[in-house]
Structure 1
Protein backbone atom coordinates (compact mmCIF):
# COMPACT_ATOMS: atom_id res chain seq x y z
CA UNK A 1 0.00 0.00 0.00
CA UNK A 2 1.40 3.41 -0.96
CA UNK A 3 1.70 6.43 1.31
CA UNK A 4 -1.27 8.10 -0.37
CA UNK A 5 -3.38 4.93 -0.08
CA UNK A 6 -2.59 4.65 3.64
CA UNK A 7 -3.48 8.29 4.22
CA UNK A 8 -6.75 7.86 2.33
CA UNK A 9 -7.59 4.69 4.29
CA UNK A 10 -6.94 6.14 7.73
CA UNK A 11 -8.59 9.45 6.79
CA UNK A 12 -11.75 7.62 5.77
CA UNK A 13 -11.63 5.63 9.02
CA UNK A 14 -11.46 8.92 10.94
CA UNK A 15 -14.27 10.45 8.87
CA UNK A 16 -12.11 12.94 6.96
CA UNK A 17 -11.47 13.57 3.30
CA UNK A 18 -8.00 14.61 2.11
CA UNK A 19 -9.00 18.25 1.73
CA UNK A 20 -9.96 18.30 5.41
CA UNK A 21 -6.70 16.57 6.43
CA UNK A 22 -4.67 19.09 4.42
CA UNK A 23 -6.51 21.90 6.16
CA UNK A 24 -6.22 20.43 9.66
CA UNK A 25 -2.47 19.88 9.13
CA UNK A 26 -2.08 23.48 7.85
CA UNK A 27 -0.88 22.29 4.46
CA UNK A 28 -1.61 23.55 0.98
CA UNK A 29 -4.74 22.30 -0.74
CA UNK A 30 -3.01 19.64 -2.85
CA UNK A 31 0.01 18.85 -0.67
CA UNK A 32 -1.01 15.30 0.21
CA UNK A 33 -1.99 14.55 -3.40
CA UNK A 34 1.49 15.65 -4.49
CA UNK A 35 3.00 12.84 -2.40
CA UNK A 36 1.85 10.42 -5.07
CA UNK A 37 4.83 11.51 -7.16
CA UNK A 38 7.25 13.08 -4.68
CA UNK A 39 8.54 12.46 -1.18
CA UNK A 40 6.94 14.51 1.60
CA UNK A 41 9.12 16.56 3.90
CA UNK A 42 9.23 15.28 7.46
CA UNK A 43 7.38 18.20 9.07
CA UNK A 44 4.43 17.88 6.70
CA UNK A 45 4.30 14.10 7.11
CA UNK A 46 4.44 14.47 10.89
CA UNK A 47 1.62 17.04 10.80
CA UNK A 48 -0.59 14.62 8.83
CA UNK A 49 0.29 11.74 11.16
CA UNK A 50 -0.63 13.89 14.17
CA UNK A 51 -3.97 14.90 12.63
CA UNK A 52 -4.78 11.26 11.90
CA UNK A 53 -3.49 9.97 15.24
CA UNK A 54 -1.00 7.51 13.75
CA UNK A 55 2.77 7.19 13.54
CA UNK A 56 4.80 8.33 10.56
CA UNK A 57 6.10 4.75 10.31
CA UNK A 58 2.53 3.56 9.79
CA UNK A 59 1.95 6.10 7.02
CA UNK A 60 5.22 5.13 5.35
CA UNK A 61 4.32 1.43 5.48
CA UNK A 62 7.15 0.48 7.84
CA UNK A 63 4.63 -1.07 10.25
CA UNK A 64 1.01 -2.13 10.25
CA UNK A 65 0.52 -0.85 13.79
CA UNK A 66 -1.05 2.60 13.72
CA UNK A 67 0.93 3.58 16.81
CA UNK A 68 4.07 2.13 18.30
CA UNK A 69 2.30 1.46 21.59
CA UNK A 70 -0.48 -0.66 20.07
CA UNK A 71 -0.38 -4.18 21.42
CA UNK A 72 0.04 -7.16 19.14
CA UNK A 73 -2.28 -10.17 19.50
CA UNK A 74 0.57 -12.11 21.10
CA UNK A 75 1.12 -9.35 23.66
CA UNK A 76 -2.58 -9.33 24.46
CA UNK A 77 -2.61 -13.10 24.96
CA UNK A 78 0.48 -12.90 27.17
CA UNK A 79 -1.16 -10.20 29.27
CA UNK A 80 -4.26 -12.35 29.67
CA UNK A 81 -2.14 -15.22 30.97
CA UNK A 82 -0.35 -12.90 33.39
CA UNK A 83 -3.67 -11.45 34.58
CA UNK A 84 -4.90 -14.96 35.36
CA UNK A 85 -1.76 -15.63 37.38
CA UNK A 86 -2.25 -12.38 39.29
CA UNK A 87 -5.87 -13.20 40.08
CA UNK A 88 -4.87 -16.65 41.30
CA UNK A 89 -2.17 -15.09 43.45
CA UNK A 90 -4.60 -12.59 44.95
CA UNK A 91 -7.13 -15.32 45.67
CA UNK A 92 -4.75 -17.69 47.41
CA UNK A 93 -2.15 -15.19 48.58
CA UNK A 94 0.71 -17.27 47.16
CA UNK A 95 3.17 -16.76 44.35
CA UNK A 96 2.22 -13.17 43.63
CA UNK A 97 5.45 -11.52 42.56
CA UNK A 98 6.46 -8.31 40.88
CA UNK A 99 9.64 -8.69 38.90
CA UNK A 100 10.82 -11.53 41.11
CA UNK A 101 9.99 -9.89 44.44
CA UNK A 102 7.07 -11.05 46.61
CA UNK A 103 4.13 -8.65 46.49
CA UNK A 104 3.35 -6.67 49.60
CA UNK A 105 -0.14 -6.72 51.04
CA UNK A 106 -0.60 -3.14 49.84
CA UNK A 107 0.25 -4.17 46.26
CA UNK A 108 -2.17 -7.10 46.46
CA UNK A 109 -4.92 -4.80 47.76
CA UNK A 110 -4.33 -2.32 44.92
CA UNK A 111 -4.51 -5.07 42.32
CA UNK A 112 -7.72 -6.41 43.77
CA UNK A 113 -9.25 -2.92 43.72
CA UNK A 114 -8.14 -2.41 40.10
CA UNK A 115 -9.57 -5.75 39.00
CA UNK A 116 -12.85 -5.11 40.81
CA UNK A 117 -13.09 -1.65 39.25
CA UNK A 118 -12.49 -3.05 35.77
CA UNK A 119 -15.09 -5.74 36.33
CA UNK A 120 -17.60 -3.14 37.52
CA UNK A 121 -16.98 -1.00 34.45
CA UNK A 122 -17.41 -4.02 32.18
CA UNK A 123 -20.63 -5.00 33.94
CA UNK A 124 -22.03 -1.47 33.57
CA UNK A 125 -21.14 -1.45 29.89
CA UNK A 126 -22.82 -4.83 29.39
CA UNK A 127 -25.94 -3.62 31.16
CA UNK A 128 -26.10 -0.55 28.92
CA UNK A 129 -25.67 -2.70 25.85
CA UNK A 130 -27.95 -5.65 26.66
CA UNK A 131 -30.72 -4.29 28.90
CA UNK A 132 -34.01 -4.04 27.05
CA UNK A 133 -35.10 -0.46 26.36
CA UNK A 134 -38.28 -0.80 28.39
CA UNK A 135 -36.22 -1.74 31.49
CA UNK A 136 -33.83 1.21 31.21
CA UNK A 137 -34.21 4.30 33.38
Structure 2
Protein backbone atom coordinates (compact mmCIF):
# COMPACT_ATOMS: atom_id res chain seq x y z
CA UNK A 1 0.00 0.00 0.00
CA UNK A 2 1.37 3.41 -0.88
CA UNK A 3 2.07 6.09 1.73
CA UNK A 4 -0.76 8.36 0.58
CA UNK A 5 -3.37 5.65 0.99
CA UNK A 6 -2.06 4.69 4.42
CA UNK A 7 -2.05 8.32 5.48
CA UNK A 8 -5.63 8.84 4.29
CA UNK A 9 -6.76 5.66 6.05
CA UNK A 10 -5.14 6.83 9.29
CA UNK A 11 -6.57 10.35 9.06
CA UNK A 12 -10.09 9.07 8.37
CA UNK A 13 -9.93 6.81 11.43
CA UNK A 14 -8.79 9.75 13.57
CA UNK A 15 -11.60 12.01 12.37
CA UNK A 16 -14.47 9.58 11.88
CA UNK A 17 -14.32 6.08 13.37
CA UNK A 18 -17.24 5.04 11.16
CA UNK A 19 -16.07 4.79 7.53
CA UNK A 20 -19.66 4.82 6.22
CA UNK A 21 -20.35 8.10 8.02
CA UNK A 22 -17.22 9.64 6.46
CA UNK A 23 -18.29 8.45 3.00
CA UNK A 24 -21.71 10.05 3.48
CA UNK A 25 -20.12 13.26 4.77
CA UNK A 26 -18.02 13.65 1.61
CA UNK A 27 -20.80 12.43 -0.72
CA UNK A 28 -19.02 9.32 -2.02
CA UNK A 29 -20.60 5.87 -1.95
CA UNK A 30 -19.12 3.75 0.82
CA UNK A 31 -18.15 1.03 -1.67
CA UNK A 32 -16.15 3.58 -3.69
CA UNK A 33 -14.31 4.82 -0.61
CA UNK A 34 -13.62 1.27 0.52
CA UNK A 35 -12.32 0.37 -2.93
CA UNK A 36 -10.06 3.46 -2.95
CA UNK A 37 -8.51 2.41 0.34
CA UNK A 38 -8.11 -1.23 -0.71
CA UNK A 39 -6.62 -0.63 -4.15
CA UNK A 40 -4.80 2.58 -3.33
CA UNK A 41 -5.67 6.15 -4.18
CA UNK A 42 -3.42 6.00 -7.22
CA UNK A 43 -6.22 4.01 -8.88
CA UNK A 44 -8.99 6.39 -7.76
CA UNK A 45 -10.54 9.20 -9.75
CA UNK A 46 -9.11 12.66 -9.21
CA UNK A 47 -12.54 13.95 -8.16
CA UNK A 48 -12.85 11.33 -5.43
CA UNK A 49 -9.34 11.98 -4.12
CA UNK A 50 -10.13 15.70 -3.96
CA UNK A 51 -13.40 14.97 -2.10
CA UNK A 52 -11.56 12.78 0.42
CA UNK A 53 -8.87 15.42 0.95
CA UNK A 54 -11.47 18.17 1.41
CA UNK A 55 -13.31 15.95 3.88
CA UNK A 56 -10.06 15.57 5.81
CA UNK A 57 -9.42 19.31 5.68
CA UNK A 58 -6.28 19.07 3.55
CA UNK A 59 -5.35 19.78 -0.06
CA UNK A 60 -3.99 17.19 -2.44
CA UNK A 61 -0.66 19.02 -2.32
CA UNK A 62 -0.57 18.69 1.46
CA UNK A 63 -1.34 14.98 1.14
CA UNK A 64 1.58 14.54 -1.24
CA UNK A 65 3.89 16.53 0.99
CA UNK A 66 2.92 14.56 4.11
CA UNK A 67 3.10 11.20 2.35
CA UNK A 68 6.49 11.71 0.74
CA UNK A 69 9.49 11.07 2.86
CA UNK A 70 11.95 13.85 3.58
CA UNK A 71 14.47 12.18 1.29
CA UNK A 72 12.38 12.91 -1.81
CA UNK A 73 11.91 16.50 -0.72
CA UNK A 74 15.67 16.83 -0.38
CA UNK A 75 16.22 15.95 -4.04
CA UNK A 76 17.09 19.07 -5.98
CA UNK A 77 16.00 19.53 -9.57
CA UNK A 78 18.49 21.17 -11.91
CA UNK A 79 17.76 23.63 -14.74
CA UNK A 80 17.46 20.83 -17.29
CA UNK A 81 14.93 19.03 -15.07
CA UNK A 82 12.91 22.24 -14.76
CA UNK A 83 12.98 22.76 -18.54
CA UNK A 84 11.88 19.14 -19.08
CA UNK A 85 9.00 19.59 -16.63
CA UNK A 86 7.86 22.79 -18.35
CA UNK A 87 8.14 21.15 -21.79
CA UNK A 88 6.10 18.13 -20.68
CA UNK A 89 3.55 20.37 -18.95
CA UNK A 90 3.12 22.43 -22.13
CA UNK A 91 2.67 19.23 -24.13
CA UNK A 92 -0.02 18.04 -21.70
CA UNK A 93 -1.83 21.39 -21.67
CA UNK A 94 -1.71 21.60 -25.48
CA UNK A 95 -3.17 18.10 -25.63
CA UNK A 96 -6.01 19.07 -23.33
CA UNK A 97 -6.54 22.35 -25.20
CA UNK A 98 -6.94 20.45 -28.47
CA UNK A 99 -9.56 18.19 -26.82
CA UNK A 100 -7.89 15.15 -28.36
CA UNK A 101 -8.93 11.79 -26.99
CA UNK A 102 -6.98 10.77 -23.90
CA UNK A 103 -5.97 14.32 -23.08
CA UNK A 104 -9.47 15.76 -22.79
CA UNK A 105 -10.32 16.67 -19.21
CA UNK A 106 -13.82 15.45 -18.41
CA UNK A 107 -14.77 15.80 -22.08
CA UNK A 108 -13.78 19.47 -22.20
CA UNK A 109 -10.76 21.30 -23.45
CA UNK A 110 -8.80 23.27 -20.89
CA UNK A 111 -10.20 26.52 -22.30
CA UNK A 112 -13.73 25.36 -21.37
CA UNK A 113 -12.84 25.15 -17.66
CA UNK A 114 -13.47 28.01 -15.29
CA UNK A 115 -10.27 29.89 -14.32
CA UNK A 116 -10.01 28.30 -10.85
CA UNK A 117 -10.37 24.76 -12.20
CA UNK A 118 -7.91 25.54 -14.99
CA UNK A 119 -5.33 26.84 -12.51
CA UNK A 120 -5.87 23.85 -10.20
CA UNK A 121 -5.47 21.40 -13.07
CA UNK A 122 -2.27 23.02 -14.33
CA UNK A 123 -0.85 23.22 -10.80
CA UNK A 124 -1.70 19.58 -10.11
CA UNK A 125 -0.13 18.43 -13.37
CA UNK A 126 3.04 20.42 -12.69
CA UNK A 127 3.26 19.09 -9.14
CA UNK A 128 2.79 15.53 -10.41
CA UNK A 129 5.53 15.99 -13.00
CA UNK A 130 7.86 17.41 -10.34
CA UNK A 131 7.25 14.45 -8.01
CA UNK A 132 7.71 11.98 -10.86
CA UNK A 133 11.01 13.62 -11.83
CA UNK A 134 12.26 13.48 -8.22
CA UNK A 135 11.21 9.84 -7.83
CA UNK A 136 13.00 8.96 -11.06
CA UNK A 137 16.14 10.74 -9.88
CA UNK A 138 15.94 8.92 -6.54
CA UNK A 139 15.41 5.56 -8.19
CA UNK A 140 17.92 5.81 -11.02
CA UNK A 141 20.79 7.75 -9.47
CA UNK A 142 23.62 5.28 -8.90
CA UNK A 143 24.45 4.82 -5.22
CA UNK A 144 28.01 6.00 -5.68
CA UNK A 145 26.72 9.45 -6.77
CA UNK A 146 24.09 9.86 -4.06
CA UNK A 147 24.66 12.50 -1.42
CA UNK A 148 23.15 10.37 1.37
CA UNK A 149 25.98 7.81 1.32
Larger % of helix: which? 2
Normalising by structure 1, report the TM-score.
0.39
Q: Which has the larger radius of gyration?
A: 1
Normalising by structure 2, report the TM-score.
0.36
Flag the structure with more relative contact order, 1 or 2, with Cα contacts below 8 A and sequence separation at least 6. 2
